[in-house]
């Protein structure tokens, strides 16, 4: 696998990880706030 392909895969994984982190820190709390 070329370094370019690796870069795009890792970038996508990083974005997905950050999105999950933000969801767990804020999104889940927002869900809880509805109760």
Binding site for another protein (CB under 8 A): 3-4, 6-7, 10-11, 13-14, 17-18, 20-21, 24, 28-29, 32-33, 35
CB of 34 to another protein, least distance (A): 10
Q: Supply the minimum distance, in Å, between the C-beta of residue 22 and another protein.
A: 10
Using the structure block, give the residue that is written with the tokens 């706030």: 33
Give Cα separations from 23 to 4, 8, 10, 12, 18 (angstroms): 29, 22, 20, 16, 8
Minimum distance, C-beta of residue 1 to another protein, in the bound complex (Å): 10
Catalogue the E-assigned strands of 1-35.
none
């Amino acid at each position: 696998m070329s370094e370019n392909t690796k870069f795009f895969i890792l970038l996508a994984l990083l974005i997905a990880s950050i999105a999950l982190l933000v969801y767990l820190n804020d999104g889940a709390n927002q869900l809880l706030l509805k109760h």
